[in-house]
């Protein structure tokens, strides 16, 4: 058996594909073939390593060296200097040298993280089930099927304190328990992979980079609550995710990990992919269910909750991708292990997306409770081009604008509540001093107006009215009372919208106007020059 | 025995069945919570948000119309914060509304108008953002104005789930959401059967009938024209409530007086034609029973039902009675029999009908309804239009004396008047069919088994030893259920258990018709029906064949039921229609052929 002496990982995700990684890969393989190096140097496609905006990336092992912004013309030099002579090409490296496993000075997103859901992403080939198994995959499933009763699984998840990672933070163990207890012969597990929150693509990383982890989590969930059918509702735009999921599901079936009599037991579980069709509102669990049933994607009234009346009005657990991706590790390593990370009320890790005016935009997975300042400055590398920090939009479009004074807030569900903020999907959009907050709020309002399903009056018309009002501000037609009108309108929407979409506008509207009132007041003057708002 | 739940609403303890909503509990406690999109006869949609209440322990207010009660729940129905929210919602609706109250067909009946008034809303609080969409005027019967729609969702539930026609749905997302037909083809190019139930449930003027008021005024004020009018049975049981009288009060005498005041030259009565329909239809039923011809016989006086049959059950067309509806029988006779008797040139006669129905507007304009040589019925006014005409003419129904109709085509029996209630046609027909089959009179005229608001009613009648099974369905959803069963029976065994079926398109029968006052709940419809049965019981003549005016028209003009003249003027034929566009495909029964 030939063992390669060097592994070259090429993260393949929409970001790098756009930069030309497929052509780069072809050229690299050609170069290696020319020099008779294909046996000793293995080139692998992996999922995203969480770094964005840095063109074609390449990670070389065993050193753990990160290259960035590569071009096809760099290949001969890298092969000659690094692969053959062992001298990494310094001017092509990402930031500085250190790698994940080398405990030296770390920079940017390569800094040490606690990777649980992302432990395999960027390391294994996501289209190879054997890679997943070799990395310890499906061991948790084996443990569950051979030595745990469904109640034991639920108990373990409850003890771990795992909370939903989709945004609401509901205790997962309790959700599973309610579904298990609910009367009914047929139950379902649905994975919410709609990932519509702007600025969020954490689930995409898992779907593209480690689809089997999700599958394993779903089978365990099905076993725990007594469901034999699962659906992964993926947003239709995630082509690569869907393709990799399909391959993973196919392989799992052929390995008898899905289907009837899993791994020789009397447990059955079928898994199907359903594609979304471009509606943010279908990320709301009951609208998702309506869409799955082939109806207009609009939310249902709650109660009753999906755990008792979900898909086809039967007991259903709807969980986010990241939530389910935590399950195998919790089962394998135990609830106590999980609790060693994070905070008491929010144990475990969280994938954060750092975007905007930072040096290193991308994704990291760190413990719950990490201070926002650390995330932005230590991992994100701080504000790029030497500019100053102005604001961070935390939680996604349905999030809160935090000013500099609140940078020390710890990022978990409960701590953020104190500042009327939400963890949401973990998206952090960083804005520098040149940003116009009126323009930012305009973008957000425009998004919600576009995505409102139209079912309820407060949101359908309220989002349009907010849009009309913010346009007045942009164009210099507004009075100061219009700013207060926007706040009171969004508060009325919070109190009377049918679902969280309409309810959440109060967060960006209120936080933008209250924390950055100067920006808005400046726009009241028709002659005020703003590049973003007034061309 | 359902479990009971105790909760507190505004400090008051109330006990209701488990599964009840907070709104239902408040109603029981006598506490009023304002609502808008909610309707007591339909499942709640939760669309408007007006009914939100504060619940202790809940971070946000909840909609009382669709939130179930929980033991020990503490609810507050009114507070400064709740008032602000409700005002904001109405403000939002008004900012996206074509506010034309003075001339809007829903003026004074509009639920948005009364709620805005009750809350005291600042109309200029928010920028006006209405983006005008075109009004759908493709239908003969119904006008859809999207600029007045508040997207309550009632019409969609009514059309899809109650009537099972599915001509409309909600299309597009968010602010662009609107109630629309398939690819915006328009109601006139959709399977819409014109039943008009959507217009009754619509809380605003978004859905209303196509108005013929001006056309009728033009005729009334034209000295050259002789304007005759007929009024459906339901009108006399409904008019009173629009002038402050108790629901179900029969005001027939005042109705005639009002019509004369408006200027109609001859005031007749559809009930006369209803008796005529019974003569022809009972005769048809007896013929079919004798010859073993296609049974069941299905009634044909509901034009919404007829278009529904043509669209969804054309295979059962040979079962439908060839009799025209009373409106159309009247129309044919007005320009022949009456014209002859009164010595009037039929080309000068304008025939108007007052109907609780929007589908009658379509029926009057069906191309085959011209057996008199002219369009048999010229204009149809709904109850709503009639009331508007009366009020605009300053007529207060309560103040009018009781008058009599013009007898030639105005005299009627109790059998004619009960046509307006579901089961009434069935009962009326049986009273005469009994006599036609046995030669004897039916003693107990009250066939209560076919009365009432149950969706499908059945009875087994004993006609002097002959066992006859009958069924009655009202509301097209129930019609579909019954006829699907009949269709299956005929497919599988060649025949059905039923001999005679009455179908009414509208829940409650005509008293719940699509042209009746907006906001007609099922409870109101039931009371109007009871008024008609009361009138029937009070009349000296309760059988169609005993009506002197009926005897006269046969003696002097028609000969006998089923005669050649009767067939030519009083019978019709049906089409097959496309269930996507409602357009006519082909004739499925023969023109004026009797069933020999």
- The average confidence (pLDDT) of chain B is 95
Q: Which residues pair with A51 in a beta bridge?
A: A362
Instruction: Label residue B453 by pLDDT band (50, 70, 90).
Output: very high
Q: CATH no. for residue B24?
A: 3.10.20.740
Domain finish residue from A319, A338, A357? A338
Predicted local confidence at residue A279, as pLDDT = 94
Residue A379 belongs to a domain: yes
Residues B341 and B456 in one domain: yes
Partner-chain contact B129 A489, CB within 8 Å: no
Together in a domain, A405 and A426: yes
Tell me, yes or no, whether A332 and A357 share the same domain: no
A422 and A471, same structural domain?
A: no
**What is the pLDDT at residue B594?**
46
From A122, A91, A95, A133, select the one nearest A7 (Cα to Cα).
A122
Q: Which of A64-73, B242-251, B441-450 has the highest mean pLDDT?
A: B242-251
- CA-CA distances (angstroms) from residue B97 to A169, B90, B373, B583? 39, 10, 46, 33
Give CA–CA dist A29/A461, Å, rounded: 56
A490 and A441, same structural domain? yes
DSSP letter for B176, please: G
Contacts of B82 (CB under 8 A, 6+ apart): B52, B53, B54, B61, B76
In-domain check, residue A108:
no
Question: Do B74 and B117 sit in the same domain of this protein?
Answer: no
- Say how far apart CA B191 and CA B170 lie, in whole Å: 16
**pLDDT on residue A502:** 95
Is the CB of A301 less than 8 angstroms away from the CB of B46?
yes
pTM check: above 0.90:
yes
Contacts A453 to B, Cβ<8 Å: 173-174, 177
Q: Decide: A151 and A179 in contact? Cβ < 8 Å.
A: no
B chain contacts of residue A465, beta-carbon cutoff 8 Å: 92, 95, 126-127, 129
Of B206, B227, B257, the residue that ends a domain is: B206
Please tell me if residue B111 touches chain A, with a CB cutoff of 8 Å: no
The verdict on A53 and A144 lying in the same domain is no
Total number of domains in chain B = 3
User: Per the domain annotation, does B85 fall within a domain?
Assistant: no
**A86-100, A349-363, B216-230, B481-495: segment of lowest average pLDDT:** A86-100
Of the pLDDT bands very low, low, confident and very high (cuts 50, 70, 90), residue A64 is confident
Burial status of residue B489 (CB atoms within 10 A of its CB: 0-12, 13-18, 19 or more)? middle
- pLDDT, one tens digit per residue, over B196-247 is 999 999 999 999 999 999 999 999 999 999 999 999 999 999 999 999 999 9
SS3 assignment, position A53: coil
Q: Does B595 map to a domain?
A: no
Q: Based on the fold, state whether residues B488 and B339 are members of the same structural domain.
A: yes
B369-398 pLDDT, tens digit per residue, is: 999 999 999 999 999 999 999 999 999 999
Whether residue A106 is contained in a domain is answered as no
Q: What is the mean pLDDT of residues A339-343?
A: 94
In a domain, A117, yes or no: no
Q: A513 CB near a chain B CB, below 8 Å?
A: no
% of chain B at pLDDT higher than 90: 93
Identify whether residues B221 and B192 lie together within a single domain: no
Domain co-membership, B574 together with B462: yes
Q: Can you give the residue range of the structural domain that contains A373?
A: 349-432
Whether residue B369 is contained in a domain is answered as: yes
pLDDT at residue number A112: 74
Q: Phi and psi dihedrals of A353, rounded to 5?
A: -105, 120
For position B464, what pLDDT does the model report?
Answer: 82
Is the pLDDT score of A273 beyond 80?
Answer: yes
Instruction: Give the CA angle between residues B236, B241, B244 to the nearest 5°.
Output: 130
Q: What angle do CA A377, A379, A384 make, to 5 degrees?
A: 55
By C-alpha distance, the chain B residue nearest A470 is: B127
Q: Is residue A216 in a domain?
A: yes
Give the C-alpha separation, A16 to A57, whole Å: 7
How far is residue A71 CA from its own chain's centroid?
A: 28
Please state, in angstroms and rounded to a whole number, the distance separating the CA atoms of residues A335 and B383: 71
Domain-located, residue A46: yes
Can you tell me the distance from the alpha carbon of B330 to that of B318, in angstroms, rounded to the nearest whole number?
24
Whether the CA torsion A372, A378, A383, A387 is positive or negative: it is positive
Q: Do B60 and A494 touch (CB under 8 A)?
A: yes
For B503, other C-beta atoms within 10 Å of its C-beta total 29
Q: Which CATH number covers residue A402?
A: 3.10.20.600
Whether residue A105 lies inside any domain: the answer is no
Is residue B155 domain-resident? Answer: yes
DSSP codes joined into one string, B153-167: -HHHHIIIIIS----
- Sheet harboring B456-463: ordered strands across? B297-298, B500-504, B466-474, B456-463
Check: CB of residue B477 under 8 Å from CB of residue B163. Answer: yes
Q: What percent of chain B has pLDDT over 70?
A: 99
Look at residue B72 and tell me if it is in a domain.
yes
CA-to-CA distance for A102 and B76, rounded, in angstroms? 61
Q: Which CATH number goes with the domain that contains A470?
A: 1.20.1440.230
Whether B395 and B339 map to the same domain: the answer is yes
pLDDT in tens, A174-217: 999 999 999 999 999 999 999 999 989 999 999 999 999 999 99
B86 or A15, which is more confident?
B86
Q: What pLDDT is stored for residue A1 in this prediction?
A: 64
Residues A425 and A393: beta-carbon distance below 8 Å: no
- Does the pLDDT of residue B61 top 90, yes or no? yes
pLDDT tens digit sequence for A462-510: 999 999 999 999 999 999 999 999 999 999 999 999 999 999 999 999 9
DSSP-assigned letters across all residues of B481-508: HHHHHHHHHHHHHSS-S-SEEEEESSTT
Phi, psi of B317 (to 5 degrees): -60, -35
SS3 A270: strand
pLDDT in tens, A20-36: 999 999 999 999 999 99
- Please identify among residues 285-304 of chain A the ones whose CB lies closer than 8 Å to any CB of chain B: 296, 301, 303
**Residues A70, A142 share a domain:** no
Q: Give pLDDT, residue A52.
A: 85
Residues B170 and B217 in one domain: no
Q: What is the mean pLDDT of chain A?
A: 92
pLDDT recorded at residue B221? 97
Domain of residue B110, CATH code: 3.30.70.20
Indicate the residue among A432, A462, A478 that finishes a domain: A432
Give me the pLDDT at residue A63, please: 82
Has residue A246 been placed in a domain? yes
Give yes or no: residues B12 and B49 share one domain.
yes
Q: How many domains does chain A have?
A: 4
Residue B36 has pLDDT above 60, yes or no: yes
Does residue A485 belong to the interface with chain B, where contact is any CB pair within 8 Å? Answer: yes
pLDDT band with cut points at 50, 70 and 90 for residue B98: very high
Q: Which residues, at least 6 apart from B319, have a Cβ–Cβ distance to it below 8 Å?
A: B294, B295, B296, B297, B298
Looking at the DSSP bridge assignments, the partners of residue B470 are B459, B500
Assess whether B486 and B370 both reside in one domain: yes
Mutation target among A277, A496, A497 for the B interface, most CBs of B within 10 A:
A496
The torsion of the CA quartet A496, A502, A508, A513, rounded to 10 degrees, works out to: -50
Q: What is the nearest CA distance from B77 to chain A, expressed in angstroms?
A: 14
**B68 contact A CB<8A:** yes
Can you give the pLDDT at residue A535? 67
Instruction: Work out the angle between the directed axes of helices A211-225 and A321-333 (0-180°, nearest 10).
Output: 80
Q: Is residue B266 part of a domain?
A: yes
User: Are A183 and A298 within one domain?
Assistant: yes
Residues B219 and B267 in one domain: yes
Residue A154 belongs to domain with CATH number? 3.40.50.11540
Can you tell me the distance from the alpha carbon of B195 to that of B382, in angstroms, rounded to the nearest whole number? 12
Residue A86 CB partners (closer than 8 Å, separation 6+):
none
What's the pLDDT tens digit per position in B150-203? Answer: 999 999 999 999 999 999 999 999 999 999 999 999 999 999 999 999 999 999
Q: How many CB atoms are closer than 10 A to CB A515?
A: 18
* Strands B4-9 vs B74-76: parallel, antiparallel or unpaired: parallel
The pLDDT of residue A107: 53
**Residue B595, pLDDT above cutoff 80:** no
Considering the domain architecture, whether residues B426 and B564 belong to the same structural domain is answered as yes
The average pLDDT across B523-533 equals: 97
| pLDDT tens per residue, range A150-176 | 999 999 999 999 999 988 899 999 999
DSSP string for residues in B96-152: TS---GGG-TTTTT-HHHHHHHHHT--TTSS---------B--SSSEEE-GGG----
| B61: nearest CB among A454, A464, A495 | A495
pLDDT tens digit sequence for B417-448: 999 999 999 999 999 999 999 999 988 888 88
pLDDT at A101 over 60: no
Q: Verify that A400 and A334 share a domain, yes or no.
A: no
Residues A397 and A379 in one domain: yes
Give contacts of A458 with chain B, Cβ < 8 Å.
Answer: 49, 88-89, 92
Give me the domain span that covers residue B129. Answer: 100-206
Chain A residues whose beta carbon lies within 8 Å of the beta carbon of residue B149? none
- Would you say A121 and A206 are in contact if contact means Cβ atoms under 8 Å apart? yes
- Cα-based distances in Å from B312 to B59, B359, B484: 49, 17, 10
Q: According to the model, what pLDDT value does residue B584 have? A: 93
B153 neighbourhood in chain A, CB within 8 Å: 455
Q: Are residues A356 and A444 in the same domain?
A: no
Residue B404: CATH number of its domain: 3.40.50.1780
Whether pLDDT at B278 is above 90: yes
Q: Is the pLDDT of residue B517 over 60?
A: yes
> Is the same domain home to A504 and A416?
no
Asked whether residue A156 falls in the same domain as residue A74, the answer is: no
> Does the distance separating the beta carbons of A462 and B84 come in below 8 Å?
no
A363 SS3 class: strand
Specify the pairing of strand A389-394 against strand A400-403. Answer: antiparallel
Query: How far is residue A206's CA from residue A46's CA, in Å, rounded to a whole number?
Result: 11
pLDDT-wise least confident of A2-16, A131-145, A255-269, B550-564: A2-16
Evaluate whether B374 touches B350 at the Cβ level (below 8 Å): no
**Residue of chain A nearest B52, judged by CA positions:** A496
Q: B172 and B316 share a domain?
A: no
Q: What is the pLDDT of residue A358?
A: 93
**Cβ of residue B131 closer than 8 Å to a chain A Cβ:** no
Q: For residues A424 and A206, give the distance between their C-alpha atoms in angstroms, rounded to a whole number.
A: 18
pLDDT confidence of residue A2: 73
Distance in angstroms (rounded) separating the CA atoms of residues A337 and B427: 79
Residue B88 placed within a domain: no
Give the active site residues of B.
281, 284, 301, 321, 360, 363, 368, 510
- Cβ atoms of B360 and B353 within 8 Å: the answer is yes
- A114 pLDDT band, cuts 50/70/90, is confident
What CATH number is associated with residue A20? 3.40.30.10
E strand or H helix that includes residue B374: none
Report helix, strand or coil for A29: helix
Label residue B487 exposed, middle or buried (CB < 10 Å: 0-12, 13-18, 19+). middle
């Amino acid at each position: 058996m030939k063992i390669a002496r060097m592994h070259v990982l090429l993260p393949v995700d929409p970001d790098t594909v756009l930069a030309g990684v497929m052509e780069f890969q072809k050229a690299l393989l050609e170069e290696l073939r020319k020099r008779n190096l294909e046996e000793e140097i293995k080139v692998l496609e992996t999922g995203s390593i969480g770094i964005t905006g840095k063109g074609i990336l390449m990670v070389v092992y065993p050193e753990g060296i990160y290259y960035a912004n590569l071009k096809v013309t760099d290949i001969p030099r890298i092969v000659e200097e690094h692969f053959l002579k062992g001298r990494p090409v310094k001017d092509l490296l990402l930031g500085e040298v250190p790698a994940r496993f080398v405990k030296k000075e770390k920079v940017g997103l390569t800094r040490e993280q606690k990777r649980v859901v992302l432990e395999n992403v960027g390391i294994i080939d996501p289209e190879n089930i054997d890679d997943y198994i070799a990395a310890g995959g499906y061991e948790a499933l084996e443990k569950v099927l051979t030595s745990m009763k469904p109640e034991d699984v639920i108990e373990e998840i409850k003890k771990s304190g795992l909370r939903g990672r989709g945004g609401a933070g509901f205790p997962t163990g309790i959700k599973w328990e309610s579904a298990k207890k609910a009367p009914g012969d047929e139950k379902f597990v649905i994975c919410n992979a709609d990932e519509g929150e702007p600025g969020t693509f954490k689930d995409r990383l898992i779907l593209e980079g480690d689809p089997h982890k999700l599958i394993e989590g779903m089978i365990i969930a099905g076993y725990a609550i007594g469901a034999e059918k699962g659906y992964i509702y993926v947003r239709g735009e995630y082509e690569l995710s869907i393709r990799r999921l399909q391959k993973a599901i196919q392989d799992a079936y052929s390995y008898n990990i899905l289907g009837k009599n899993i791994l020789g037991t009397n447990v059955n579980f079928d898994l199907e992919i359903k594609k979304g069709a471009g509606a943010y509102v279908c990320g709301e669990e009951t609208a998702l269910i309506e869409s799955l049933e082939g109806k207009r994607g609009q939310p249902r009234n709650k109660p009753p909750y999906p755990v008792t009346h979900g898909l086809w009005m039967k007991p259903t657990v709807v969980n986010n991708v990241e939530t389910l991706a935590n399950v195998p590790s919790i089962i394998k390593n135990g609830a106590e292990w999980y609790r060693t990370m994070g905070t008491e009320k929010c144990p475990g890790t969280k994938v954060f997306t750092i975007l905007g005016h930072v040096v290193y935009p991308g994704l990291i997975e760190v413990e719950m409770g990490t201070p926002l300042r650390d995330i932005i400055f230590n991992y994100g590398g701080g504000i790029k081009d030497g500019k100053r920090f102005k604001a961070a939009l935390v939680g996604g479009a349905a999030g809160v604008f935090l000013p500099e004074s609140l940078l020390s807030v710890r990022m978990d569900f409960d701590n953020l509540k104190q500042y009327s903020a939400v963890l949401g999907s973990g998206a952090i959009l960083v804005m520098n001093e040149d940003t116009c907050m009126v323009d930012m709020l305009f973008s957000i309002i425009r998004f919600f107006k576009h995505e409102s399903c139209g079912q309820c009056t407060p949101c359908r018309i309220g989002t349009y009215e907010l849009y009309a009002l913010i346009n007045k501000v942009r164009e210099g037609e507004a009075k100061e009372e219009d700013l207060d009108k926007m706040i009171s309108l969004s508060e009325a929407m919070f109190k009377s919208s049918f679902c969280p979409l309409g309810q959440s506008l109060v967060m960006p509207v209120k936080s933008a106007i209250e924390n950055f009132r100067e920006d808005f007041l400046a726009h009241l003057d028709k002659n005020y020059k703003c590049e973003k708002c007034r061309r | 025995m359902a479990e009971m739940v105790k909760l507190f609403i505004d400090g008051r303890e109330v006990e209701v069945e488990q599964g009840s909503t907070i709104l239902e509990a408040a109603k029981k406690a006598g506490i009023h919570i304002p609502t808008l999109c909610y309707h007591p006869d339909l499942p709640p949609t939760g669309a408007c948000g007006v009914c939100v209440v504060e619940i202790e322990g809940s971070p946000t207010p909840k909609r009382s119309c669709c939130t179930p009660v929980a033991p020990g729940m503490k609810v507050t129905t009114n507070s400064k914060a709740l008032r602000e929210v409700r005002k904001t919602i109405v403000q939002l609706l008004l900012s996206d509304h074509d506010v034309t109250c003075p001339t809007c067909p829903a003026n004074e009946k509009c639920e948005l108008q009364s709620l805005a008034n009750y809350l005291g809303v600042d109309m200029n609080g928010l920028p006006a953002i209405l983006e005008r969409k075109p009004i759908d005027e493709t239908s003969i019967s119904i006008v859809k104005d999207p600029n007045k729609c508040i997207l309550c969702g009632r019409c969609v539930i009514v059309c899809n789930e109650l009537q099972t026609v599915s001509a409309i749905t909600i299309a597009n997302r968010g602010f662009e959401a609107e109630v629309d037909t398939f690819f915006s083809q328009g109601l006139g190019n959709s399977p819409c059967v014109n039943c008009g139930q959507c217009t009754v449930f619509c809380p605003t003027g978004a859905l209303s009938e196509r108005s013929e008021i001006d056309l009728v005024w033009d005729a009334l004020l034209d000295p050259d024209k002789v304007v005759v009018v007929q009024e459906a049975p339901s009108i006399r049981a409904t008019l009173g409530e629009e002038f402050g009288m108790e629901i179900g009060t029969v005001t027939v005498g005042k109705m005639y007086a009002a019509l004369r005041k408006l200027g109609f030259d001859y005031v007749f009565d559809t009930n006369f034609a209803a008796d005529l329909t019974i003569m022809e239809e009972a005769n048809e039923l007896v013929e079919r029973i004798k010859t073993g011809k296609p049974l069941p016989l299905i009634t044909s006086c509901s034009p919404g039902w007829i278009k529904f049959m043509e669209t969804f059950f054309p295979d059962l067309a040979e079962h439908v009675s060839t009799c025209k509806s009373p409106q159309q029988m009247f129309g044919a006779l007005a320009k022949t029999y009456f014209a002859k008797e009164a010595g009037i040139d039929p080309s000068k006669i304008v025939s108007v009908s007052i109907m609780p129905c929007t589908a009658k507007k379509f029926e009057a304009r069906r191309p085959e309804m011209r057996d008199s040589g002219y369009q048999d019925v010229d204009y149809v006014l709904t109850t709503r239009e009639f009331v508007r005409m009366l009020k605009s003419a300053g007529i207060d129904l309560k103040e009018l004396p009781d008058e009599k109709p013009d007898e030639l085509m105005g005299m009627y029996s109790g059998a004619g008047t009960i046509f307006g209630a579901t089961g009434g046609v069935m009962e009326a027909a049986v009273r005469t069919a009994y006599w036609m089959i046995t030669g004897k009179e039916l003693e107990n005229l009250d066939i209560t088994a076919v009365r009432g608001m149950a969706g499908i009613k059945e009875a087994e009648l004993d006609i002097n030893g002959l066992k006859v099974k009958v069924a009655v369905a009202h509301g097209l959803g129930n019609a579909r259920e019954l006829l699907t069963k009949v269709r299956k029976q005929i497919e599988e065994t060649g025949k059905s258990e039923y001999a005679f079926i009455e179908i009414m398109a509208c829940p409650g029968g005509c008293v719940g018709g699509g042209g009746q006052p907006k906001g007609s709940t099922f409870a109101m419809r039931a009371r109007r029906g009871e008024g008609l049965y009361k009138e029937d019981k009070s009349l000296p003549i309760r059988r169609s064949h005993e009506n002197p005016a009926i005897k006269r028209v046969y003696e002097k003009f028609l000969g006998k039921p089923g005669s050649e003249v009767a067939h030519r003027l009083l019978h019709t034929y049906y089409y097959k229609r496309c269930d996507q566009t409602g357009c006519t495909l082909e004739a499925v029964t023969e023109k004026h052929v009797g069933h020999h």
